[in-house]
Chain A
Amino acid sequence: MTGEIVGGWEYVIAAYVISALVYGGYAYSVIRRDNASRSPSPSASASPSASASKEKKS
């Protein structure tokens, strides 16, 4: 027993793969939610205030 660790690349690879998935997944999630918040929702166009403004224009 020398106290030295031999090998262990499988742990290193596992740590980096999981980190890549978490960082990448979180970045994707933030950008996707941002894009979704920018697109107009169907309920917004059907809201009373939206229909009222349409009536004013016509």
Chain B
Amino acid sequence: MKPKTLVALGGTLLIAGSFWGLLFAPAEIFMGDVYRIFYIHVPTAWIGLLLLTAAFICALMYLLKGNLLWDDRLEATMEAGVVLSALLTIQGSIWARPTWGVWWNWDPRLTTTAILVFAFAGILALRTSLKEPRRRAMVSSVATIVAAADVPLVYFSVRFWNSLHQIQSSPETVSAAFVWPLRVNAIAVLILMAGLISIRAETVARLREAGAEPPPLDAPQPLSANTFGVNR
């Protein structure tokens, strides 16, 4: 399936799942209608963490294989992962206000998520300052592997520490009346991001190939007219 078709399909499913959750799913017994944020918040969290895990795998693959295509994929997945993680923090803050009474709390889940956003956004910023593709790929792969240590911390923070945040939601922990819009939205975000990452990885590769990538060290260097001091 073409990436743009995936984007269109994912976007349509996301709209359908969101309307299902907003208009047709029943209200929750304690949180009333506020809980409906969960239909967009939880899929954003799942796919955001999944993408940053994928970025970690791309970094590892670059270090093992040395193929710059893995670096292109790394940039595409990391960029999408940072966007989703930042959105996740905003959605969580909006949900926290009516349920916890505050917009922000230095709770372990929130703190580790904020560290995640800043760490990966920092790596993306660092990449813009490195012009040589191999050096950029090497530095960002190592930095990604270090930053990815925070991904399991975010996921398990609600179990490791005493947290205001509830434990992880999954279809098993959610009542049958609520679960289908959640599944639809999770699949929708996954399809949407798969399409966008495919497009972005292709763009990054195209820009890299058009840029000043140095030839391999064993390749013959072309001679210019001025190599021998000849002024023609």
Task: Known contacts A5-B32, A19-B87, A37-B206; decide if A11 and B41 are in contact (CB<8 Å).
Answer: no
Give which listed residue, A11, A16, A31, contacts B34 with CB less than 8 A.
A11
Cross-chain contact B200 with A30 (CB below 8 angstroms): yes
Q: How far is the CB of A55 from chain B (nearest CB, A)?
A: 15
Within 8 A of B (CB), among A1-21: 3-9, 11-12, 14-16, 18-19
Q: Complex Cα distance A7/B99, Å?
A: 11
- Contact check, A27 vs B11: say whether CB atoms are below 8 A apart: yes
Knowing A4-B30, A22-B87 touch, does A12 contact B37 (C-beta < 8 A)? yes
- Are B196 and A27 closer than 8 Å at their CB atoms? yes
Kindly state the separation between the CA atoms of A5 and B210 in the bound complex, as whole angstroms: 56
Give chain A's interface residue range (CB within 8 Å of chain B). Answer: 20 to 34
CA distance A16 to B197 in the complex (A): 22
Distance, CA A23 to CA B229, complexed state (A): 57
Chain A residue nearest to B37 (CB atoms) is A15
B44 touches A19 (CB 8 A): yes
Binding site for B on A (CB under 8 A): 3-9, 11-12, 14-16, 18-19, 22-23, 26-27, 30-31, 33-34, 37-38, 44
- Which residues of B pack against A, CB within 8 Å? 4, 7, 11, 14, 18, 22, 29-34, 36-37, 40-41, 44, 80, 83, 86-87, 90-91, 94-95, 97-99, 192, 196, 199-200, 202-203, 206-207, 210
